[in-house]
A = this chain, B = another copy of it.
Amino acid sequence: MSDLQRIEQALSTFLAGPQASDGPPRLGEAIRYAVFPGGARIRPRLCLAVARACGDDAPAVADGAAIAIEMLHCASLVHDDLPCFDDAATRRGKPAVHKAFGERLAVLGGDGLIVLAFQALAQACRSRPDRLAPLMAVVTRSVGTPHGIVAGQAWECEPFVTLSQYQRAKTGALFAAATEAGAAAAGASPEPWRLLGDRLGEAYQMADDIRDVVGDPALLGKPVGQDAAHGRPNGAGEYGLDGAVSKLESLLAGTLAAIPPCPGAEQLREHVLTEARGLLPAGVALRAA
């Protein structure tokens, strides 16, 4: 089973569990609509890749960590798309949750996904209760304040913010959670894995900025030019397209250098490179790596 299949199966099983029955039906529909069909599942696949690099001795815990991170990512997309933020009409090639279910179920669906993420972590750790506390520490830090995705989004409400401060919280935090949680799920110390996640987050953000400037909305499943439209910082806007690609290449070299010594380091290096190539729009190639 591929990691992607493993994630889809874990998400399906979890979201069809006891918490799916007997509740308000439209809330359940809105939550499933926000999660399926997914995007590339980059963060949970990264989480599993790191867990494997660390031995993956408790696959159910790694699955729980991976889907918790994906549900938190989906929650942030649902709330980011709300009329008071991006007012985005589409997401992943279909109407955004607030367009399909209304604004109230978009707010509640995002809230529900945050709670479900923590529920998934707690359930996954039933057989390994010693792993719950380190996972909770890693995951709460990545979504809360001062450096998590909620804080990242809130920087948009401040008069002054630097590009790196904003992107580190808005995007980098969940990548760091993915690498740290992958390690913690496999019983390794999460701390040495944070730098890899931080750098991957920066590289991903740069690739995303490049796609926002030159990407194809039909392939992306979402509109392009959103950063300019919303007056948000964008690396490709700041450095120009060539500058942004150069920057991405050097970020990627730093990322590969940040993989801590571990049994599966070589395989993880391949994972990172394959991912990076897949993120760039057609016609934009990496020269190095």
Contact = CB atoms under 8 A, between A and B. Distances in A.
A208 interface: no
A260 interface: no
B19 A146 contact: yes
A277 interface: no
Nearest to A101: B157
A130 B153 CA distance: 34
Contacts of A155: 24
A27 B79 contact: no
B145 A19 contact: yes
A22 B158 CA distance: 13
Nearest to A75: B111
B148 A115 contact: yes
Contacts of A85: 104, 107
Contacts of A112: 144-145, 150-151, 154
B157 A23 contact: no
Contacts of A94: none
A131 to B, nearest CB: 10
Contacts of A129: 129-130, 132-133
Q: Which of A26, A82, A153 has the most CB of B within 10 A?
A: A153
A75 to B, nearest CB: 8
B140 A115 contact: yes
B103 A157 contact: no
B23 A151 contact: yes
Q: Which of A21, A110, A150 has the most CB of B within 10 A?
A: A150
Interface in A117-149: 118-119, 121-122, 125-126, 129-130, 132-133, 136-137, 140-141, 143-148
22 contacts: A18-B146, A22-B147, A24-B157, A26-B154, A28-B146, A31-B145, A84-B103, A85-B104, A85-B107, A102-B157, A104-B153, A104-B156, A108-B154, A111-B111, A112-B145, A115-B144, A115-B145, A115-B150, A116-B144, A116-B145, A118-B118, A129-B133
The 7 closest A-B pairs by CB, nearest first: A23-B146, A27-B154, A115-B144, A122-B136, A119-B140, A84-B103, A24-B154
Given A19-B145, A119-B141, 17 more contacts: A20-B145, A21-B146, A24-B155, A24-B157, A28-B145, A31-B145, A79-B111, A102-B157, A111-B111, A111-B114, A114-B114, A115-B144, A119-B144, A122-B133, A122-B136, A125-B133, A132-B132
Interface of A: 18-28, 31, 75, 79, 82, 84-85, 102-105, 107-108, 110-112, 114-116, 118-119, 121-122, 125-126, 129-130, 132-133, 136-137, 140-141, 143-148, 150-151, 153-158, 161
